Amino acid sequence: MQLAQLNLVIRLAGEQRDEAAQRLATGRQQWQGANQQLEQLQNYQRQYVGQVQRESQQGIAVQNLVEGRRFIAELEGLIATQQQTVEQQEANLQVLTEQWVAASQYLNAVERLKDSRLREQQQSAERREQQLVDDLYSVQQTLRQAAAR
């Protein structure tokens, strides 16, 4: 593969890595948002349960107690649903992380290939140059020997 082609592949691989990084950042924000919602629901549930317990110690109507328990059950359902959302976001975040790592590794591999090709070209040019110097020296030696005769 020619250096110009490798430069194109490197540019495209860099774009893929950057896009993967953007998707990862978005996924991380979504996971954090879902996690914050879960924490808010859990905090609200703790506060509500505490309030119901305090009210029940002071005496509460049976209807209010039943409605309070129903509401707590609804909160538990919302928390369970939100926990699933957090877990899904976590799994998505793992996939996005793996994609970013793969894109980064690919870019690094292509960059190493380019560096290797550059070194090979440089070594080849140095060998040709050395061969020319050797040939020139050989011709000069031959001319000196012919002139000395």
Whether 149 shows a pLDDT value over 80: the answer reads no
Give the pLDDT score at 63: 85
Cβ pair 27, 92 in contact under 8 A: yes
Give the pLDDT score at 13: 97
Whether 56 shows a pLDDT value over 90: the answer reads no
Task: Find the domain containing 127 and state its range.
Answer: 3-148
Whether 1 shows a pLDDT value over 70: the answer reads no
Give the pLDDT score at 3: 86
Q: Residue 72's pLDDT band (boundaries 50, 70, 90)?
A: very high
CATH code for the domain of 24: 1.10.287.1700
Q: Where are the beta strands (DSSP E) in the chain?
A: none
Give the pLDDT score at 146: 86
Model confidence pTM above 0.85: no
CA–CA gap between residue 58 and residue 36 (Å, rounded) = 33
The number of domains in the chain is 1
